[in-house]
Chain A
Amino acid sequence: MAQTRWEPSLSREWNGFQNQMRRLFEGPWTGASAFPGLAVSYPPVNIWEDDNNVFAEAELPGMPLDKLEIYVNEGNLLSIQGERQAGDTQKGVWHRQERGFGKFTRTIKLPVTVDADKVEAKFENGVLFITLPKAELAKPKKINVKAE
């Protein structure tokens, strides 16, 4: 029996509002806002895959590329590390300080083994996008079923 999900027509509106309220009070930012620069896990990362690649994306605004390092160890450990420095405004009064600064390291275990030699990364508008091609062994292989 097919299951149907009932989604009220107002849900999109409510979801937007609820999501906004939820993000105000939850998520990695509540921990980070107490100690700027010492985030719970920085940077926040999104990971997804298709048959041939694993993709990772992280938001790193204002990150100078020469201070950013990306490693792939042991075939499935992705490591992003770097240092973001505070602006060059040494003198002046800080009215508000919300952005984090300092060194960070984040190591993520990927679900499959990837080919470290073929990993590509690009950095655009403050967003780091990494494409990690899967190792041949890790790609899904279709198995044919013979009917008798």
Chain B
Amino acid sequence: MRNNTAVEQSESRSEALPFETTENALYTPRVDIVENEDELTIFADLPGVTAQEVNVRFENGELVLHGRCAPRHPGVNYLLEEYGVGNFYRAFAVSEHVDSERIHAELKNGVLTLHLPKTAAVKPRKIAVKAH
């Protein structure tokens, strides 16, 4: 019985993965993470990825970023090849202070901007000081 449960778990996990790991090369995109008063902003460089091919999932406190990008010129003999083209994958652990309902993102010119708004409880509040 124990064996069956373990197999079921691994199968369901592989269904949850949105991609096959042997499809293309896999790259880790470079990111900048900035924290403001209202939100955390993540900028990720995803050149060559269109909005349909980006998959952002937030699950169990983990933000998973996946971008699919097929080689644009397959079968070419390069004179100079300094970079490869492939899928992007990066995962972040997100604290509970982020309001997961309001996470939104936009993709422009190959840069994905992820906005993670903070929950109201965590925002800094300025406290007024009354003078007597």
> What residues of chain A have their CB less than 8 Å away from a CB belonging to chain B?
12-13, 16, 19-20, 23-24, 27-28, 41, 44-49, 55, 57, 59-64, 87, 89, 91-99, 108, 111, 123, 125-127
Complex contacts, A89 vs chain B, CB 8 Å: 34, 36, 41
- Which residues in A have their C-beta under 8 angstroms from that of B27? 23
Whether A20 contacts B25 in the complex (CB less than 8 A), given A44-B82, A125-B48, A127-B48, comes out as yes
**Main SS of chain B's interface residues?**
loop
- Given known pairs A96-B32, A99-B31, the reply for A46 and B45 (CB within 8 Å) is no
User: Can you list 8 A-B contacts (CB < 8 A)?
Assistant: A12-B22, A19-B25, A46-B80, A46-B83, A87-B32, A92-B35, A126-B109, A126-B110
Q: Is the CB of B22 within 8 A of A16?
A: yes
Contact (Cβ within 8 A) B81 A59:
no
Contacts between chains A and B (CB distance < 8 A), count: 113
Output the nearest chain B residue to A96 by Cβ-Cβ distance. Answer: B33
**Interface code B75-96, partner A: CB below 8 Å = 1, 0 otherwise?**
0111111111000000000000
Contacts A47-B78, A125-B110, A126-B48 hold; do A99 and B30 have CB atoms under 8 A apart?
yes
Which of A13, A60, A98 has the most chain B CB within a 10 Å cutoff? A98
Q: Is B114 among interface residues, defined by CB-CB distance under 8 A? A: no
B residues engaging A (CB < 8 A)?
21-22, 25-28, 30-36, 40-41, 43, 45-50, 72-73, 76-84, 108-111
A contact face: mostly helix, strand, loop, or mixed: mixed
Nearest to B46 among chain A residues (CB) is A61
Minimal Cβ-Cβ distance residue in B for A111: B79
B115 CB → nearest A CB, Å: 11
How far does the alpha carbon of A96 sit from the alpha carbon of B42 in the complex, in Å?
9
Contacting residues, chain A, for B25 (C-beta < 8 A): 16, 19-20, 23
The listed residue (B28, B76, B84) touching A48 by CB distance below 8 A is: B76
Chain A nearest CB from B38 CB (Å) reads: 10
